[in-house]
Amino acid sequence: MRIAVCVKAVPDAAAGRRIDPATGRLDRAGDLVLSDFDLHPIEEALRLRDAAGEGEVVVVSLGPPRAADAIRKALAMGADRSVLVTDDPFAGADLVTTASALAGALGRESADLVLFGQQSADGDGACLWAAVAELLRRPFISQVAELAVEAGSVTGRRQTELGYERIQSPLPAVVAVSDAINEPRYPSLKGIMGAKSKPQETLGAAEVGGVSPARTAVLALSPPPARGERRRIEGAGAPEAIVDFLVERRLI
Amino acid sequence: MVCGSGVESFAESAGPFGAGAVFVADDERLAAPLPQPRVDVLAALIREEGFDIVLFAQSVLAADVAAGLAARLGAGLNWDLVDVAETDEVLVGKRPALADSVWVDVGWTSSPRLALFRTGAFEPVERGGSAEVRTVDVVLEEHSLLAQLVEPAVAEQSGPSIEDADVVVAGGRGLGGPEGFAQVEALADALGGAVAATRAVVDAGWYPYSAQVGQTGKTVSPKLYVAVGISGAIQHKVGMQGSGTIVAINKDPNAPIFDYADLGVVGDLNEIVPALTSLVGRRKSG
């Protein structure tokens, strides 16, 4: 079983995320970390590989060269190797730019299963898999909270606005998993040490079929509309303060 | 554009809301709510009719269709928009970003321009009129038919309706387990409200799906929304941001929900909620 997991290195939320007003792009100058949402497909891929007793988990990403450090966490968790697509013209990539770079990198692999997390932690996008699957002309299942792989097919149980449903597809396929699917493991010390010697490949634009230009652009930034006064309380007396607030607003 | 099986009768209902024409793709192979066959149908229609702007109401299905379509057509897709306007013949979308801390004006640099709108971004307005209904040929690609729905969604029906309640008390992962909902139910009872839950706890099996608020659940706008142990991710926010007053109780002072709660209470919900329930109960009976 060969599994590719598409991941994203994002600015560390703990350090604060901001959009650079000059470029209209997310400021990626600070520390980059692996998106939390992407730990779930990595975990799922490791479990599938280990249950099958054979195979390989390769992590695929598009990002700046520094993203390689963040991606090493996937290797520390147990992934076998990583592929990072990185090149200057990819800065400011939009959905189709990103999908085409990832599809180009995935085209060099022969993965039975391509996994995604449920969304990007910084851009709030939740649809990249659909664009990648389209470019690869493969079936896909999104929002999967339970995944079963058997005899050349994959079945996902997922939640949509309609409730829970099950979708089945032959392999090779693309699957996006929700963060409800598993509890990702923490890298062990041995894993962290071992990750340093695992292969981390870098691909330029030419190696993934070029750069598909962005078709969307950020035009301007503005502060969000005010929602009125917000109050914060903590410590003892909180229940009484809540009641006072509700009385003041005539809600009880 | 209406896609599905046995959906022709819905087409005309778009007329009174202002649609001039409704394209109908009615085909058994479109019966399941799966995205890839819909990409085939829409891509052909957009190319044939030369549509320049294609808008979707955000949903799991619509996001998958829109992104597939963007890849197929090489088109720009902006998501999570709350508004769109044309100024000097330039189409500009408004998107709250980074947990709604900044609003971004987004544009498109090529045609067609695709957009997904956040749930509840617009109120539908009936303005009269009738739509011309036009049938569309359904030609599907091989790879679009590989994924199959093997078990359709079954809507669960239980408990009081959270959509009609004036007060909603919602529980999230911070409750620690399914037993934590007893406190939420007691507080809802004292406030005369209904109980809701986040996607995380519904997926974990702590509470039924019928109570779920958020992107893939229900959208509620009660007078009072009390969020207990809910961090307030954007998927949750879109389902309850229309509430009159939002009170949030969470031990994490950095939880995103505090950015949009009218009253944020930082503390241990296991101490605050029972005390609050008893205070509210005493007040009502006294």
**Residue B262 in contact with partner chain A when CB distance is under 8 A:** yes
Here the ipTM equals 0.91
Query: What pLDDT, on a 0 to 100 scale, did the predictor assign at position B158?
Result: 46
- Helices marked H in chain A: 36-52, 67-77, 95-107, 128-136, 189-195, 238-248
Across all residues in chain B, what is the average pLDDT? 92
Tens of pLDDT, residue by residue over B28-43, are: 999 999 999 999 999 9
For residue A218, the chain B residues in CB contact (below 8 A) are 104-107
A2-219 CATH: 3.40.50.620
**Residue B204 in contact with partner chain A when CB distance is under 8 A:** yes
Confidence of residue A222 (pLDDT cuts 50, 70, 90): confident
In the sheet that holds B53-57, the strands lie side by side as B53-57, B113-117, B76-81
The answer to whether the CB atoms of B97 and A170 lie below 8 A apart is no
Which of A159, A178, A230 is closest, CB to CB, to B262? A230
Query: What pLDDT, on a 0 to 100 scale, did the predictor assign at position B98?
Result: 82
Which of B103, B110, B223 is closest, CB to CB, to A251? B223
Return all residues near A62 (Cβ < 8 A) that are at least 6 apart: A8, A84, A85, A86, A90, A93, A98, A101, A102, A105
Cis peptide before A172 (omega within 30 of 0): yes
Domains of chain B: 2-145 (3.40.50.620), 167-285 (3.40.50.1220)
In the sheet that holds A56-62, the strands lie side by side as A200-203, A81-85, A56-62, A2-7, A113-116, A173-177, A140-150, A153-160, A163-170, B148-151
Task: Return d(Cα A134, Cα B115) in angstroms, integer.
Answer: 18
Residue B67, min C-alpha distance to chain A (Å): 5
Q: Is the dihedral of CA B85, B90, B91, B94 positive or negative?
A: negative
Is pLDDT at B264 greater than 50 in this prediction?
Answer: yes
Task: Return d(Cα B118, Cα B123) in angstroms, integer.
Answer: 12
DSSP assigned state of A181: S
Average of per-residue pLDDT across B204-225: 90
Mutation target among A26, A140, A234 for the B interface, most CBs of B within 10 A: A140
Query: What pLDDT, on a 0 to 100 scale, did the predictor assign at position B215?
Result: 84
For residue B80, the chain A residues in CB contact (below 8 A) are 124
The answer to whether the CB atoms of B70 and A164 lie below 8 A apart is no
Task: Return d(Cα B38, Cα A232) in angstroms, integer.
Answer: 47
Kindly write down the DSSP assignment for every residue of A56-93, as one continuous string.
EEEEEEE--TTHHHHHHHHHHHT--EEEEE--GGGTT-
The answer to whether the CB atoms of A161 and B216 lie below 8 A apart is yes
Tens of pLDDT, residue by residue over B158-186, are: 445 788 889 999 999 999 999 999 999 99
The helices-and-strands tally (H runs, E runs) of chain A is: 6, 15
Tens of pLDDT, residue by residue over A125-170, are: 899 999 999 999 999 999 999 999 998 999 999 988 888 899 999 9
Domain layout of chain A by residue ranges? 2-219
Structure tokens at A21: 């007003």
Tens of pLDDT, residue by residue over B74-109, are: 999 999 999 999 888 899 999 988 877 788 999 999
Name the B residues in 223-242 with CB < 8 Å from any A CB.
Answer: 223-224, 234
